[in-house]
Amino acid sequence: MSDAPLSGRIALVTGASRGIGAATARALAAAGAHVILVARNARDLETVEQAIHDAGGTATIAPCDLAEPEAIGRLATAITARWAALDILVINAAVLPVLTPVWQIEPVDFNRGLLLNVSATQALIACFHAALRKSRQARVIGVTSSVGGAPRAYWGAYGATKAAFDNLLDAYAQEVRGISEIRVAIVDPGATRTAMRAKAYPGEDPARVKSPEVVGARIAALAGEDFASPHRERVESPA
């Protein structure tokens, strides 16, 4: 894959064991990147890793619970000891709190969403910022949701976490764009056939929404593009 558009680049994808994360990892590897696969379930990561290897790509699994306070720091230490720079960081891992009226939100459930969707995002940026600075064309791509910017009844807990997620990434983009090569994109995947989508819309026919591969392909393409930072876009279904 020496002539592939992302050849020689190191990419890290969170939530890479399934859905959009797995599809993005496969697409990045197909474009030539070496992909570090991050999620809690090692067995599922091994399945994605094998699919990448079978297709001629390369990947490394890094099982990690991003909700564990010290885990992201340990992950960054291990990765930076092996690779001099990080070229692509895809922040995809997220949890969907129970859909319920705001006055019925359970604090434990809400705090779990804040921890993984918000606090872990800040920790990823903090721990990998130095490695991103060492890249000649660093890209940070966050996977968001439309409810972060357009509140919706019963989605208050998740929407609040995604609003904070968007704010963190946008602020980071503004902070680094004049002093580094880091570019930040915030991508709304739109309706996509994932386990999270099935949980939120249990009666929906999954065939009526696009596959994760559509989103993964767009994220991989964006990782190789030049764009004004912060960049925002929504991935629409194929015509």
Tell me which residues are annotated as active site. 158
Q: What angle do CA 24, 28, 31 make, to 5 degrees?
A: 145
Tokens of residue 40, six digits: 């809690």
| DSSP conformation class of 103 | G
Sole residue written with tokens 């604090």: 107
Listed in sequence order, the residues at least 6 apart from 199 whose beta carbon sits closer than 8 Å to its beta carbon are 96
Q: Of the candidates 15, 60, 11, 48, which has an alpha carbon nearest to the alpha carbon of residue 32?
A: 11
What distance in Å separates the CA atoms of residue 65 and residue 50, rounded to the nearest whole number?
A: 21
Cis previous bond, 230, omega within 30: yes
